[in-house]
Amino acid sequence: MAAIDKSEYEQYVIIAGGRIRCLRCTAQCSRTGKQCGKPAMKSSRSQKCTHHSGRPHSSAVLLRISEANTLHGESCQVAKQQHRDASVLIHELEDALYMLNMASGPRTRGRKPNGYRGVYSEADVVRMIRERVLHLM
């Protein structure tokens, strides 16, 4: 099955008995390779129909999707939050060790997790310890 070249896409679709001409969805079927026949959403930046993710989701719909995708075990929201908290603690402790010259060697690579607050001075180390002690109580 050969993929459709962009030049082969039909740009417009005629609907309502030939009275309305609108942009056509640019999605293509993975099985047949043919272009979708539905009109694209006016608000879609990628020129897709409602079936192919052209429709924006409300916050209630996004919450339902999130709950549906996090039902079990390792992917539940509680486990994700615990992992994020542990990752923040590890990164802050690493910064504190380097700031106090208690560690040598390379630092952990990659972006810092959400909720991370940098430790750049002794006052930041004290703040971090106080927050952790209050968090345990």
76-125 pLDDT, tens digit each:
777 788 888 899 999 999 999 998 899 888 888 888 888 888 899 999 99
Using a 10 angstrom Cβ sphere, with 0-12 exposed, 13-18 middle and 19 or more buried, the burial of residue 63 is exposed
Give me the mean pLDDT over the 14-43 stretch.
82
Query: Angle at CA 30, nearest 5°, toward 45 and 22?
Result: 35
Which of 3-7, 26-30, 49-53, 117-121 is the least confident region? 3-7
pLDDT band at 1 (very low <50, low <70, confident <90, very high): very low
Query: Which residue's entry shows tokens 């486990």?
Result: 79
95 vs 38, residue with greater confidence: 95
Has residue 55 got a pLDDT over 70? Answer: no
- Both structure tokens of 101: 């010259």
How far is residue 54's CA from residue 19's CA, in Å, rounded to a whole number?
23
pLDDT at 12 over 60: yes
Task: Output the six-digit token pair for 137.
Answer: 């109580």
